[in-house]
Amino acid sequence: MQRTIFTEEHEQFRKMVRDFIEREVAPHREEWDEMGRPPREFFRRLGELGILGIQVPEEFGGGGESSFKFNTIVFEEVARAGVSFGSYTVHACLILPYLLEYATEEQKQRWLPGFADGSIMTAIAMTEPGTGSDLANIATSAKLSEDGKHYIINGAKTFITGGVTADLILTVCRTSPFDPENRRGGLSIIAVPTDSEGFAVGRKLDKIGLHQQDTAELSYTDVKVPVENLLGEEGAGFGYLTHNLPQERLSIALNQVGFAEAAIAHAIAYTKERKVFGKPVASFQNTKFVLAECSAETQAARVYVDHCLELLDRKELTVADAARAKLFCTEVSGRVIDKCLQLHGGYGYITEYPIARLYADTRVTRIYGGTSEVMKTIISKDLGL
């Protein structure tokens, strides 16, 4: 189906990203899989090309683009090539809205130039060992020092994407005692430099998939951070998290549609080449019907997320509609990739085939960014239930 959301400028950017992947990313896929993340200089290279700072204002060294469509092109090209940009999505798509919306002018001057050129990589630490999707139950504490000039942070975080790579981590803390009558109150976001005394990266978690995206446990033991690193207002953190969830969840949805499209392309190529009983697998009616189903579902998801993308650019994408997009697209990609793997037969289970990596990488998308069950809860509330 013809898409109408991209201009010639977008397509020129797409060609640049595609060429970059072919030259500088695809040849290193296996090496980076073993490392568990791309090398640090890779992010500097993304910065040089302007990929990290697409939406960073020009006065801070970025591209000054307000549209999320350029980020979407990166998602699509990464999926098409079967590679990874490590923690790119967290850095460029999840963290930046917090800095643009809530950082002071001084904080922007301090952080955004490095954010854009790749010298400051970022992550966000919400999830705790005892707290998953229930962010109101966060226990990590941040107390003011006696002189009132620093926060003293204590606690632990887990499942933090980019936690090993990051130089600055937006840490969700409790700055006032837990109030059962107002569970969402008292949360704040504090930017913690990872070279702070008392901060430590624990285990780098060994995952089923997403092997080039580092995921870690973090610990905070009397970590001393200047009060100037508070993002926005103290106690307003839960509202900030909610405000930025639509873009985070749409990012996941967009990624997953790209994965589903890539899976179909791999299945078509494989079934045309592979022969069973003397005939190409693609010639059997079952293969044609399965791929037809996959194509119909994926096209429907593509049209929906393209529309959501337009809404996001107009700042009209609601929390509930972003939840619908994430729920629908992650469920679709799960079904489509599973069917495409089945068409590969035994080779679909071998990791040298792209479909196997897609299968492993996509499962977590129904968990992170809010589980599918949480998405259903949000949608049902929007229905007045």
Task: Say if CB 326 and CB 250 are below 8 A apart.
Answer: yes
Task: Kindly state the average pLDDT of the residues 30-59.
Answer: 94
CATH code that applies to domain 122-233: 2.40.110.10
Is pTM beyond 0.85? Reply is yes
**Residue 1, pLDDT above cutoff 80:** no
Q: What's the confidence (pLDDT) of residue 176? A: 87
- Comparing CA positions, the residue from 140, 207, 195 lying closest to residue 168 is 195
pLDDT-derived band at 382 (thresholds 50, 70, 90) equals very high
> Rounded to whole angstroms, how far apart are CA atoms 325 and 125?
24
Task: Kindly state the average pLDDT of the residues 238-248.
Answer: 90
**Residue 178, pLDDT above cutoff 90:** no
pLDDT digits (tens, 9 = 90+) for 119-141: 999 999 999 997 766 777 899 99
DSSP bridge pairs for 215: 161
Q: What's the confidence (pLDDT) of residue 182? A: 78
Planar angle of CA 170, 171, 172, nearest 5 degrees: 120
Spell out the domain ranges in the chain. Answer: 8-117, 122-233, 239-383
pLDDT digits (tens, 9 = 90+) for 63-91: 999 999 999 999 999 999 999 999 999 99
Annotation marks residue 248 as catalytic: yes
For the domain 239-383, what is the CATH superfamily, name and number?
Butyryl-CoA Dehydrogenase, subunit A, domain 3 (1.20.140.10)
Task: Kindly state the average pLDDT of the residues 38-50.
Answer: 95
CA-to-CA separations, 87 to 32, 53, 61, 123, in angstroms, rounded: 13, 14, 20, 8
pLDDT digits (tens, 9 = 90+) for 331-351: 999 999 999 999 999 999 999
Pick the CATH number of 8-117 from 3.40.50.10860, 3.40.50.2000, 3.60.21.10, 1.10.540.10: 1.10.540.10
**Residue 374, pLDDT above cutoff 80:** yes
Mean pLDDT, rounded, of the chain: 94
Better-scored residue on pLDDT, 2 or 118: 118
- Comparing CA positions, the residue from 266, 344, 345, 346 lying closest to residue 298 is 266
Query: Which residues have a Cβ under 8 Å from the Cβ of 95 and sit 6 or more positions away?
Result: 115, 122, 123, 124, 170
Catalytic residue among 76, 77, 234, 248: 248
Q: What is the dihedral of CA 68, 71, 72, 77, to 10 degrees?
A: 160
Q: What's the confidence (pLDDT) of residue 262? A: 96
Q: What is the dihedral of CA 221, 222, 223, 226, to 10 degrees?
A: 160
**Residue 187, pLDDT above cutoff 80:** yes
Q: What's the confidence (pLDDT) of residue 135? A: 76
Q: What's the confidence (pLDDT) of residue 133? A: 67
Both tokens of 34, joined, read 């073993």
Q: What's the confidence (pLDDT) of residue 130? A: 78
Residue 320, CB half-sphere, CA atoms under 13 Å: how many?
A: 8
> Rounded to whole angstroms, how far apart are CA atoms 111 and 289?
52
Task: Kindly state the average pLDDT of the residues 229-252.
Answer: 93
In our burial notation (b when 16+ CB lie closer than 10 A, e otherwise), range 267-301 reads: bbebbeeeeeeeeebbeeeebeebbeebbebbeeb
| φ, ψ of residue 76 in degrees (nearest 5) | -65, -40
Q: What's the confidence (pLDDT) of residue 177? A: 81
